[in-house]
Amino acid sequence: MSRWSYFLRRLVLVVPILLFSMSLTFLIIRIGPTDPVAAIVGLNNDPQYRIAVAKSIGILDKNGDPVPLWRQYVDFMWGLLTFDLGQAWVINRGTSVTDLIASRAPRTIWLGFWSVLVALFIGIPLGFYAGLNPNTLSDYTASFGGIVWRAMPNFWLGIILAGVLVTSSELTNGLFNWSEFIVETDVITAPPLDNLSFVSFEGGVPSYDGEGFENLVAAIKQILPAALVLGSASMGNEMRIGRTAVLETINSNYVETARAKGLSERVIVWKHVFRNALIPLVPVITAEAFLLIGGSVVVESVFGINGLGKLFFDATVQGDLPLAGALIFIFVLITLGMNILQDFLYTVIDPRIGYE
């Protein structure tokens, strides 16, 4: 089977999974305990107003009769499949769901980007270092740290870290103040992601943009605490699995053969050990997308980041069903896409894996 045939088959298999997931989502948000009309009208008990609202959101038809559930289901699925996500019911009522998601997505992408970097550039190097130096103080320290990071819940770690950073000046008797470190910023609220380029091209000539560089530093500084919290679980997993993978690889037969041929330890580690040790880490790294989807809801709420996670939390609590359903649809698409990407990375890293 060729590569393209394999991925075409995977894309075809995605369709029934997507339909089942969104059908389940429809049942949850439409048959659940939330009364969408009550969520919209609030304390307004005017019967005529309630009927008008019910008609506007498609629960009642023009004659005031209930719209059959199957018809609501067809409209819901057709809107998702055509990416016509409709309008929000409660949060910024009347605003396009697409516009709401587009305005919040950059913050979540920014948070996810740094969360992945924190996990990759701390977890994997620590795991590989511990695997190359087994049963040493460094190995024990890294292993213990990975277990601790993995065990701490995101919501608890986020609250503790936010509290420490906010009171950093009092805790250190004025020796260190996080809000004034490097650039003066608000510790909790993420800044607007505008003008983050430190190079401007006026008249086609590149020049240094001091304001853009300061904005970039401020944006990185404010997102790092939340990124550290969100990436902590993945960081611990990558450290532990990376250590085990290195230990298994370094004692394998082909590594012993490479040593017998007289290859240097540096060549053996970089050419033979690291690449093969990355194979079991592929599902862990790609699974970070799933962690970011679920964890961002908690982390963004704790740190006051107005991203997709907090938007989903607000939509669920306030009963904004179209917005919640659209976000679930996007999260499912991301999850399915990451599964396909994971299989592709397997074939790239490990040539022994075929497409059959």
Mean pLDDT in consecutive groups of 10 residues from the start of the chain, 356 residues:
73 86 82 73 75 78 78 84 82 84 85 83 86 86 81 82 84 80 66 59 57 75 85 80 84 80 80 78 70 73 83 83 86 83 71 62
Q: Which helix H or strand E contains 208, and what residues bound it?
A: strand 205-208
Work out the angle at residue 169's Cα, subtended by the Cα atoms of residues 163 and 175, and round it to the nearest 5 degrees: 140
Within 10 Å of residue 64's Cβ, how many Cβ atoms? 10
Can you give the pLDDT at residue 170? 83
Can you give the pLDDT at residue 3? 67
Backbone angles phi, psi at 231, to 5 degrees: -90, 0
User: Which amino acid is located at 100 in the chain?
Assistant: L
201 three-state secondary structure: strand
Can you give the pLDDT at residue 210? 61
Closest of 318, 298, 319 to residue 309, by C-alpha: 298
Can you give the pLDDT at residue 149? 77
Can you give the pLDDT at residue 290? 65
Taking a C-beta distance cutoff of 8 angstroms, is the pair 168, 175 a contact? Answer: no
Burial class (CB in 10 A: 0-12, 13-18, 19+), 195: middle
The rounded distance, in Å, linking the Cα atoms of 249 and 274 is 8
Closest of 49, 112, 53, 33 to residue 308, by C-alpha: 112
Q: Give, in words, the CATH class of 99-155+231-349.
A: mainly alpha
172 three-state secondary structure: coil
Can you give the pLDDT at residue 335? 81
User: Which amino acid is located at 71 in the chain?
Assistant: R
The rounded distance, in Å, linking the Cα atoms of 27 and 66 is 17
Can you give the pLDDT at residue 201? 56
Can you give the pLDDT at residue 321? 81
The rounded distance, in Å, linking the Cα atoms of 301 and 158 is 10
- Cite the residue boundaries of each domain of the chain with CATH code 1.10.3720.10: 99-155+231-349
Closest of 43, 46, 38, 83 to residue 333, by C-alpha: 83
Can you give the pLDDT at residue 190? 57
The bridge status of strand 205-208 relative to strand 199-202 is: antiparallel
Backbone angles phi, psi at 291, to 5 degrees: -65, -40
